[in-house]
Amino acid sequence: MAIATTANSLSTRDLYLFNKGNLFHSYRTFGAHSVRKGNKRGVRFTVWAPNAKQVRVVGSFNEWNGVEHAMELIGETGVWSLFIPKLKPGTIYKYEIFTKDGNRLLKSDPFAYQSELRPSTASVVAEGFDFKWNDGDWQQRKLEDSPYREAMLTYEVHLGSWRNRGKEQFWTYEEMADALVDYVVDMGYTHIELLPLTEHPLDQSWGYQATGYFSPTSRYGTPKQLMHLVDRCHQRGIGVILDWVPGHFCKDDHGLRLFDGTPIYEGKDWKRAEKPLWGTLAFDFGCTEVQSFLISNAIYWMDVFHIDGLRVDAVASMIDLHFDKPQELLTYNAFGGKENTDALRFLKRLNETVFQYFPGALMIAEDSSAWPDVTAPTYMGGLGFNFKWNMGWMNDMLRYMALDPNDRRHHHNLITFSLLYAFSENFVLPLSHDEVVHGKRSLLNKMSGTYEQKFAQLRLFYGYWMTHPGKKLLFMGGEWGQFDEWKDAEDLDWELLDYDSHGSMHRYVKALNHQYLQQPSLWERDCDPGGFEWIDVHNAEQSIIVFLRRGQASHEFSVIVCNFSYHGYSDYRIGVPEPGEYRIALHSEAAAFGGVLTDVPEVRYSKTAPWHGRPCSITLDLPPLSFQMLVFAQSELECEDRLTT
């Protein structure tokens, strides 16, 4: 067996920056790297374990006996390093850590770039990431376009259950690069959001309880195969958002918990570290080395894998020291409050750093709190995200849609309240995986009424969702009205597409998606109060709302009419702002979408009959539980020259 030699080529400046919380590409220093030392080729291992008595590298190459592969502690940095010649990519390894109290631990590498397939837990020396990218046009476009004024219609995906071949028989990243990307493009989505891809031991955690933050899960293949998937998305004009979990990590022995025998990642205050709701541990956001670790991880996914943005999970649990904690675990900040000031500072620094390196990135907060200015710049006192999930809108609307329509007149505020705060942040309207699991029922099954009425209500709901201000996100299976809850161990119920009701819903969602893309009025001014106007907000008795969405051009607008009641209305008059022709771009009750109308008129013409405070008006037939979108088509004809047909 070759005798290992110590690697002294580490940059002392990089280690200093790491200790100070300022090494934002620490994945280039830490972990296992194939390098040349003198005339020898091998692997350099580097790990942070400041309170360890000794650290060794063990693996199949030394029969898991690290006596000849002891690492050297570099000064007072808490960093250990070792160069082992002749090792190659594919080598599996762990760190053998001897604690100051005499215990021996076997730990996976926190900076591992590849991991064994569970239930095995060792790290893997990865191949060099010399992937040939073909997404230059996409990267240039990101720099030129503003995400606030662009369409953003996101398809949320769990790769293990979108398609699979059976229990634990997953499609690879590379296979997804064909089938999934083709499907997303055909359906009209602009982005894919992937549930966490960081390595995790338990399938049922969906990646939210990680052990390998730099390691794409091996369930679906290799890191290079993931790069291929992202590259294919970009070549087809699809952005990729990664669900990212910096708030907490799992307690498995091979992971970050008590990494060197002491709480270096979770911090010394066990009350603050414990996350009893999830059985996990919170990161110590005040620790400078943890800051280097986490911020580097965010940069890593964008730098190495070309990920376009991060949906930052559970922000509310990060910034609230009392979030879902029993009385005995409550702690307070230095000012006596429950705000986690370390987490708040961390999030600001995270966003500042990401945008410094990647100005076109998406940083999306999944935040259920009422914390103000989440999407305001840090120099204005905000947290610095550029988007936030609108959990209030989602909760109100799902509650409203579950009501018997005969009772909705008493709860009209549930569909109108969101417009009081719709422009206080840059919002995404999420219909995510969290709403279709754990007994919450699928979106279709949340709707009230008979089987047919459920489909009509879901079409109506989707229409209102798509035309309400804010970017959009829909979890897989929702596009055809999957009746059962999401089953994470099985693939989606694709066979439902053979049934008329679900096939019609699928056609409707596809048509709705493409109408969204074609109408700039639905997204150009999502973050601008001038992009929305109520036409009729007060008709609670009939459960009808009418509103306007405006684009940048003066004559570019859409009129939205939603009837949330069981009653249909003929010749229902609505006010409109301009004379001329209005094209019915989409009607949820068209027979092609599973509705009752075999003949939907293509256009309507306004009359010079003021209504709803507008100079002109149109009359429409409103079927029960229906959505209509009319798009203004500028005409030379004056209102009085045409009568509404």
Would you name the residues annotated as active-site residues? Answer: 313, 366
Q: Is 541 exposed, middle or buried (0-12, 13-18, 19+ CB in 10 A)?
A: exposed
In contact, 528 and 515? CB cutoff 8 Å: no
In contact, 486 and 161? CB cutoff 8 Å: yes
Instruction: Output DSSP code: residue 164.
Output: B
**CA dist list (Å): 5 to 33, 127, 138, 360, 547:** 15, 22, 44, 43, 71
Question: H/E element holding 628?
Answer: strand 626-633
Q: What is the DSSP string of 464-531?
A: HHHHSSSEEEEETTGGGT-SSPP-TTS---GGGGGSHHHHHHHHHHHHHHHHHHH-GGGTTTTT-GGG
**320 CB-near residues (< 8 Å, 6+ apart):** 338, 339, 340, 369
* Cα 543 from Cα 568, distance rounded (Å): 11
- The amino acid at residue 200 is H
Phi, psi of 619, rounded to the nearest 5 degrees? -110, 140
Determine how many CB atoms are found less than 10 A away from the CB of residue 570: 9
SS3 content of the chain, % helix, strand, coil (to 5): 30, 25, 45
| 3-class secondary structure, 422 | coil
Q: In 3D, which of 308, 386, 388, 384 has the Cα closest to residue 353? A: 384
Q: What is the DSSP string of 331-345?
A: ---TTS-SB-HHHHH
**CA dist list (Å): 95 to 56, 59, 85, 251, 419:** 6, 9, 17, 17, 54
**160 CB-near residues (< 8 Å, 6+ apart):** 170, 203, 219, 220, 488
Determine how many CB atoms are found less than 10 A away from the CB of residue 459: 27
**65 CB-near residues (< 8 Å, 6+ apart):** 58
In contact, 43 and 32? CB cutoff 8 Å: yes
What token pair was written down for 337?
């409050």
Determine how many CB atoms are found less than 10 A away from the CB of residue 193: 26
